[in-house]
């Protein structure tokens, strides 16, 4: 079954606890947490303090998506705060292999993220080392943007490489996922769908999750 990771970027930040509890009881598989620094992306969100604060609120894995320059500096803090999966952008890592292994050595799952305009070849050498590959289907920075369908060609390429190399990482997509685009993602072979606005802008989260999952 396709996993659903609601992105709390679109949640009501004044009521984060109840928002997370709501999507957990509505069937979410992960809680997707978007960390933005105002440098790598043109927006600022939250840091380790908030991850630490929401940790006791849910038993779901915290899927932490770092959209920050110099992620190596902050990774230990996100680990201490209770992240279960930490994903770093290939565009921000000078020594991607070192960064991925630093995350894994701490007992946390490690993911690599690629932007829409970055080639799949950029992450081919790291595939044997990661637990997750996250494809941005929008340019990162904001919720509520439109899905970029050409990214699915890269997804299909990675699905093929995963098979050829006999690897088992999860494939996740993030950005513009809704009732219509989720179907395309599933057809391309995606395992985990991140959705922010399509879940949190809907009063009935259970229905929203079901619609995306079963599209």
Residues noted as catalytic: 34, 174
The full length of the chain comes to 215
Identify whether the C-beta of residue 133 lies closer than 8 Å to the C-beta of residue 169. Answer: yes
Does 141 belong to an annotated binding site?
Answer: yes
Based on the shown chain and the rule CB under 6 A, indicate whether residue 71 belongs to the binding site for ligand DX5: no
Q: How many CB atoms are located within 10 Å of the residue 194 CB?
A: 28
Q: How far is the CB of 17 from ligand DX5 (least distance, A)?
A: 19
Stretch that binds Zn ion, among 35-43, 61-69, 77-85, 103-111 (CB under 5 A): 61-69
Identify whether the C-beta of residue 55 lies closer than 8 Å to the C-beta of residue 79. Answer: no
The Cα 97–Cα 215 span in angstroms is 36
The Cα 182–Cα 189 span in angstroms is 11
Based on the shown chain and the rule CB under 5 A, indicate whether residue 174 belongs to the binding site for Zn ion: yes
Does 197 belong to an annotated binding site?
Answer: yes
Based on the shown chain and the rule CB under 6 A, indicate whether residue 6 belongs to the binding site for ligand DX5: no
Minimal CA–CA distance to 61: which of 35, 82, 30? 30
Strand partners, 194: 5, 174
Q: Which of 7, 87, 115, 181 binds ligand DX5 (CB under 6 A)?
A: 7
The Cα 3–Cα 23 span in angstroms is 13
Which residues lie below 8 Å from residue 195, measured CB to CB, with a gap of 6+? 4, 5, 6, 7, 177, 178, 182, 208, 212
Q: Which of 4, 45, 65, 75 binds Zn ion (CB under 5 A)?
A: 65
The Cα 172–Cα 85 span in angstroms is 12
Q: Which residue has the tokens 């997370």?
A: 20
Based on the shown chain and the rule CB under 6 A, indicate whether residue 172 belongs to the binding site for ligand DX5: no
Residue 111 interacts with which of Zn ion, ligand DX5, none, CB < 5 to 8 Å by class: none
Cβ closer to Zn ion: 184 or 195?
A: 195
Residue 205 interacts with which of ligand DX5, Zn ion, none, CB < 5 to 8 Å by class: none
Based on the shown chain and the rule CB under 6 A, indicate whether residue 83 belongs to the binding site for ligand DX5: no
End-to-end CA separation in angstroms for the chain: 12
Q: Contact positions toward ligand DX5, by CB under 6 A?
A: 7, 9-10, 32, 34, 65, 138, 140-141, 143-145, 174-177, 194-198
Binding residues for substrate: 7, 65, 141-144, 174-176, 196-197
Q: Contact positions toward Zn ion, by CB under 5 A?
A: 34, 65, 174
Binding residues: 7, 32, 34, 65, 141-144, 174-176, 196-197
């Amino acid at each position: 079954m396709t996993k659903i990771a609601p992105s709390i970027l679109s949640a009501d930040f004044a009521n984060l606890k109840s928002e997370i509890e709501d999507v957990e009881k509505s069937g979410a598989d992960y809680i997707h947490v978007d960390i933005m620094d105002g440098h790598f992306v043109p927006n600022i969100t939250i840091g380790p303090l908030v991850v630490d604060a929401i940790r006791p609120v849910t038993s779901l894995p915290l899927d932490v998506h770092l959209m920050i320059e110099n992620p190596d500096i902050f990774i230990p803090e996100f680990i201490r705060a209770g992240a279960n999966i930490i994903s770093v952008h290939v565009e921000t890592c000078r020594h991607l292999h070192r960064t991925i292994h630093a995350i894994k050595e701490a007992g946390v799952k490690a993911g690599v993220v690629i932007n829409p305009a970055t080639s799949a070849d950029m992450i081919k050498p790291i595939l044997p080392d990661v637990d997750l590959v996250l494809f941005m289907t929008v340019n990162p920075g904001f919720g509520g943007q439109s899905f970029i369908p050409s990214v699915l060609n890269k997804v299909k390429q990675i699905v093929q490489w995963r098979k050829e190399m006999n690897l088992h990482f999860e494939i996740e997509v993030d950005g513009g996922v809704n009732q219509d685009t989720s179907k395309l993602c599933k057809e391309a072979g995606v395992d985990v769908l991140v959705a922010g606005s399509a879940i949190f802008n809907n009063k009935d989260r259970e229905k929203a999750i079901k619609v995306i999952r079963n599209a």
